[in-house]
Amino acid sequence: MRKKNSFKFLAMLLIGMLLMAACSGGSEDASSEKSKGNGENPAKDRGNELVIGVSGDPQNWDPIDTFLLDWSTIATSVFEGLVDRNLDLELEPGLATEWEYLDDKTLQFKLREGVTFHNGEEFNAEAVKFTFDRLLGEEGAKGPQQANYTSIDHVEIVDDYTVNFILKEKDPVLLTKLAGYGAVIVPPKYIEEKGDEHFNTNPVGTGPFKMTEYKRDSKTVLEKNENYWKEEGAKLDKVTFRIIPEASTRLAELQTGEIDIMKRVEVSQVKNIEDSSFLELQEVGTPTAFSLRFDVAKKPLDDVKVRQAINYAVDKQAIIDEILSGYGKPISTFQSELSFGNNPDLKPYPFDQEKAKELLAEAGVEEGTELDIYIPGNDGNFKEIAQAVAFYFEQVGLKANIQTVDSNTLTSDLMPNGNAGHMYRQGWGGWTLDFDNTAYLMYHEGEFWNPSFKDKKVEELLAAERSTTDQEKREEIFMQLTERLHELAPELNLYSAVDLYAVNKRVKNFQAPHEDRMRLENVSVE
């Protein structure tokens, strides 16, 4: 059965590719040869600046108002936190030089002296207290970041460069959360004088670059922070991020030298990059997981047998091999192998369409039952994946209606309000590299991105893993939690992402980030 369906699916894809090729025509001219990226490097005379093509605009630069990877791609160069995490995913000092637990509920930080915000305002203990009072207060409650830091009761100032974090409860993931972008430090006087609305589009941080221009849905311009606290400072004078939603347009701009780095290269574009004389491809494993999340409040997905059936019905490995060309890794739960809490002994649901049909029959699901699937319109890879899922659904008697919507609308409105159909694309960055963050925000009842899922056993296990800092005990709890989630199947887990970046060879020392957070202070051009 597996071999037959996978072969049929591959044939379907090949027919589609041939049709597209026929529509595009077969002639080539000088301009098409140039578009392949051969010949002289068209970006060689740009100077000491970089232009990066990205797919989305976060719309808001206030760190407490966003949970979007598109924010972190740019704003990591603008803001800094007390704790940093480098490109090798190791924690290291940031705006704090050191820290220690004075007791189970008191975490003390020694702050870096001589640091100023981009507006000239001094970084000190007052700035840290203001940042967390704001994050944990009424303003923070309006956005999604506050939920990550609820273990913090308040921040106490010891002196100008020492603060104590007073905790409500143990938090085994607090340090890595503080390296996340929700906890970056913001300037008190600037926000008090200008207001929150102004700060949304005119951010000020302490990072190696300062934002000097922002045109929504068009571009963001960063310039070198001449007063950066690190002696070496940034090597580039200027970085421009251009918002280019369509991957085909990003590739065209890269090939003609209008941009230097392309984020989110699609699998179908890899050969174009590899054939170029002045471009190179970088691939990197990520903590980002992708699934089709079920709204379990909607029939027939309120029945666990139906959710399990869908997991059996879809050949995830064929999707990885045939659509992603191997640039993806199978997952058993909604996390990657980089995540602490991943269960290596738990395997993804096998491809077994007879089992799927059996479970659907037991659940009383009628032939031709329709399920709405919502996906972002600017993700070409996932459009193909959704079409493949629809094909597999058809084989077991289900009908998929694929709806494409704006990415920001999907993540910020439809998903949290339970209006994203029966199933929707859920991409999750796994930025803490610890299943705690993913599991709590996805499965704890009442969370922003969890409109309908709830389970008593899951709640007990989530509470248990947060009650200890003993990593061995936490790992044991995570093994139980992953087994329970695997059984309940709140989503169709598809793969963890391998990200692809295309880089002009004039760019030196750029390392593709595991977690979308570009680090540009050491990047140069020639």
CATH number reported for the structural domain that contains residue 404 in this entry: 3.10.105.10
pLDDT score at 418: 95
Residue that is written with structure tokens 């094909």 in the block: 391
Shared-domain flag, residues 71 and 177? no
For the ranges 30-34, 111-115, 253-257, 421-425, which has the lowest average pLDDT?
A: 30-34
Q: Residues of the chain with pLDDT > 90: what percent?
A: 84
- The CATH code of the domain that includes 145 is 3.90.76.10
Longest dimension (CA), the chain: 72
| 391 and 268 fall within a common domain | no
The pTM assigned to this predicted structure is: 0.78
Angle at 488 between CA 491 and CA 407, to 5 degrees: 15
Q: Indicate if 114 and 251 belong to the same structural domain.
A: no
Q: Are residues 375 and 479 in the same domain?
A: yes
User: Taking 80 as the threshold, does the pLDDT of residue 174 lie above it?
Assistant: yes
Report residue 317: phi and psi, to 5°: -65, -35
Instruction: Reduce the DSSP state of residue 210 to 3 states and report it.
Output: strand
Question: CA angle, corner 74, sides to 94 and 66, nearest 5?
Answer: 85
Are residues 134 and 97 part of one domain? yes
Range of the domain at 427: 287-497
Tell me what the mean pLDDT of segment 5-18 comes to: 48
**Cα–Cα distances in angstroms (integers) from residue 305 to residues 316, 325, 360, in the given order:** 19, 31, 7
- For the segment 44-53, the average pLDDT, to the nearest whole number, is 97
Q: Do 376 and 484 sit in the same domain of this protein?
A: yes
Q: Could you tell me if 342 and 433 lie in one domain?
A: yes
Instruction: Please indicate, yes or no, whether residues 100 and 126 belong to a single structural domain of this protein.
Output: yes
Tell me whether residue 200 is in a domain: no
Three-class SS of 94-152: CCEEEEEEEECCEEEEEECCCCECCCCCECCHHHHHHHHHHHHCHHHHCCCCHHHHCCE
Asked whether residue 374 is assigned to any structural domain, the reply reads yes
pLDDT of residue 20: 42
Same domain assignment for residues 332 and 342: yes
Q: Is the pLDDT of residue 354 over 50?
A: yes
Does the pLDDT value for residue 14 go beyond 90? Answer: no
State yes or no: pLDDT of 17 exceeds 90.
no
The total number of structural domains that make up the chain: 3
Does residue 392 sit within a domain?
A: yes
**Distance in angstroms (rounded) separating the CA atoms of residues 332 and 329:** 10
Asked whether residue 27 is assigned to any structural domain, the reply reads: no
- Tell me whether residue 24 is in a domain: no
CATH number of the domain encompassing residue 513? 3.40.190.10
Residues 357 and 485 in one domain: yes
Mean pLDDT across the chain: 92
Decide if pLDDT at 499 tops 90. yes
Q: Do 321 and 214 reside in the same domain of the chain?
A: no
Q: What is the pLDDT of residue 353?
A: 98
Task: For residue 363, tell me if it sits in a domain.
Answer: yes
